[in-house]
């Protein structure tokens, strides 16, 4: 069964550094999402992406964040200058044809900012 | 803005018994979807069940069923014949199905379910 994959599984970085989190959505899916989960807290929506542009973004998704689909398979989340409070689990998700289809999540990337 | 509330931070159940997890939500929308996702210790989010608001019939997936009360804005999950593998964090989630929806999921705080042998 096709799966969403994410790399790396764990990323440790210094405050102020740039990080890129990578996701490979399911191959025939059209809508892509990033969520984050700070330890012990609820999962929060960051951004949705369709047809090579951002469809919707949350207040969390400020100018430090960007997303890109650089080729036909990868979907990346970049944080330009990481802060301590960016430490969280980041989940990528994708849906097949419509934005209201069920979202399938990747295993997540744990980001630790020191 | 929509909100989702799970009032039970933790629940426990004996293996083979039945447990119900509660979820309430607040929205002014009439057309939406509701979900339960499971997050085991591996942290991956796994879909358990999905309910369309326009359907009056409650969704069922094997041992998992929901009690959807649209007027009360309540969406509880019942797990029958609980198994040790059901131990996980369970999240209730809301998605607006309206014209401006791009699939944003709004999650509740989660309920940690422990199944005891």
- The yes-or-no verdict on residue B83 having pLDDT over 90 is yes
A31 at interface of B, judged by CB pairs closer than 8 A: yes
- Per DSSP bridges, beta strands A53-57 and A43-50 are antiparallel
* DSSP reduced 3-state for A90: strand
Tokens of A32: 């892509």
To the nearest whole angstrom, how far is the Cα of A74 from the nearest Cα of chain B? 19
Q: pLDDT band for position B100 (50/70/90)?
A: low
Tokens of A84: 């301590």
> Quick one: pLDDT at residue B92?
97
Strands in A14-108 per DSSP E: 19-24, 31-37, 43-50, 53-57, 65-68, 75-79, 88-95, 104-105
- For the stretch B19-67, pLDDT in tens is 999 999 999 888 899 999 999 987 788 999 999 999 889 999 999 999 9
Rounded average pLDDT over B71-86: 97
- For the stretch A98-114, pLDDT in tens is 877 889 999 999 999 99
> Quick one: pLDDT at residue B101?
66
Using an 8 Å Cβ cutoff, are B77 and B90 in contact?
Answer: yes
Q: Nearest Cα to B90, choosing from B53, B47, B50? A: B47
Task: State whether A42 and B103 contact (CB < 8 Å).
Answer: no
Query: What residues in B contact A43, CB-CB < 8 Å?
Result: 45, 91, 93, 105, 107
Place of tokens 């931070």: B9
Query: What residues in A contact B91, CB-CB < 8 Å?
Result: 42-43
What count of CB pairs under 8 Å joins A to B?
Answer: 62
Q: What is the DSSP string of B8-75?
A: -SEEEEETTS-EEE--EEE-S-SSEEEEEEEE-TT---EEEEEEETT--SPPEETTEEEEEETTTTEE
Q: How many Å apart are CA B22 and CA B8, to the nearest integer?
A: 7
Query: What residues in B contact A107, CB-CB < 8 Å?
Result: 42-44
Query: What residues in B contact A41, CB-CB < 8 Å?
Result: 109
- The yes-or-no verdict on residue B98 having pLDDT over 80 is no
The span from the first CA to the last CA of chain B, in angstroms, equals 41
- The yes-or-no verdict on residue B84 having pLDDT over 80 is yes
Place of tokens 């039970």: B8
The answer, yes or no, to whether the previous bond of A103 is cis (omega within 30 of 0) is: no
- For the stretch A41-95, pLDDT in tens is 889 999 999 989 999 999 999 999 999 998 878 999 999 999 999 999 999 999 9
Q: How many Å apart are CA A92 and CA A25, to the nearest integer?
A: 8
Rounded average pLDDT over A27-36: 93
Q: How many Å apart are CA A53 and CA A61, to the nearest integer?
A: 14
- Reported as type and span, the H/E element at residue A87 is none
Tokens of A27: 């191959």
Task: State whether B107 and A91 contact (CB < 8 Å).
Answer: no
Residue of A nearest to B90 (CA): A42
* DSSP reduced 3-state for A86: helix
Over chain B, what is the mean pLDDT?
93
């Amino acid at each position: 069964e096709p799966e969403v994959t994410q790399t790396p599984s764990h990323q440790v970085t210094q405050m102020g550094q740039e990080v890129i989190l990578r996701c490979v959505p399911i191959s025939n899916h059209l809508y892509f999402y990033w969520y984050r989960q700070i330890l012990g807290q609820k999962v929060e929506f960051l951004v949705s992406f369709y047809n090579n542009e951002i469809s919707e973004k949350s207040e969390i998704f400020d100018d430090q964040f960007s997303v890109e689909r650089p080729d036909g398979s990868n979907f990346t989340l970049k944080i330009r200058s990481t802060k301590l409070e960016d430490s969280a689990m980041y989940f990528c998700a994708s849906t097949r044809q419509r934005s209201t289809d069920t979202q399938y999540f990747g295993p997540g990337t744990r980001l630790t900012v020191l | 803005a929509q909100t989702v509330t799970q009032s039970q931070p933790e629940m426990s159940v004996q293996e083979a018994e039945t447990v119900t997890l509660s979820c309430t939500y607040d929205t002014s929308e009439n057309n939406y979807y509701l979900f339960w996702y499971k997050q085991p210790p591996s942290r991956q989010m796994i879909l358990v069940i999905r309910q369309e608001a326009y359907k009056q019939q409650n969704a069922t997936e094997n041992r998992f069923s929901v009690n959807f009360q649209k007027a009360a804005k309540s969406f509880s999950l019942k797990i029958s014949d609980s198994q040790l593998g059901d131990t996980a964090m369970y999240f209730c989630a809301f998605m607006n199905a309206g014209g401006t929806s791009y699939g944003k999921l709004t999650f509740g705080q989660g309920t940690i379910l422990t199944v005891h042998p």
